[in-house]
Amino acid sequence: MTVIPVIDLLHGQVVRAVRGDRQHYRPIDSPLCRSHDPATVARMLCAHVSARALYIADLDALTGGVPQAALIASLREALPGIELWIDAGFARRADAEALRRALKDGSGPDEARRIVPVFGSESLRSAADLADCLQPGDAGAILSLDRRDGRVLDDAGCWTSPARWPQRVIAMTLEQVGADAGPDLATLAALRALSPQTRFIGAGGIRHPADLQSAAAAGAEAWLVASALHDGRLPPARAPQGVA
- Count of alpha carbons within 13 angstroms of residue 184, beta-carbon side: 27
- How far is the first Cα of the chain from the last one, in angstroms, to the nearest whole number? 9
Rounded Cα gap, residues 66 and 208, in angstroms:
35
**pLDDT for the residue numbered 54:** 97
Instruction: Spell out the domain ranges in the chain.
Output: 2-230
**pLDDT for the residue numbered 7:** 94
**pLDDT for the residue numbered 32:** 78
**237 CB neighbour count, 10 Å cutoff:** 14
CB 168 within 8 A of CB 189: no
**pLDDT for the residue numbered 39:** 94
Mean pLDDT by groups of 10 residues along the chain of 244 residues: 93 75 64 82 93 95 92 94 96 92 67 88 95 91 93 96 96 79 92 96 93 95 92 78 72
Element (H, E) at 125: none
In the DSSP assignment, the letter for residue 35 is -
145: closest CA among 131, 114, 116, 166?
166
**pLDDT for the residue numbered 102:** 86
CB 85 within 8 A of CB 56: yes
What is the pTM assigned to this prediction? 0.91
The answer to whether domain 2-230 has CATH 3.20.20.70 is: yes
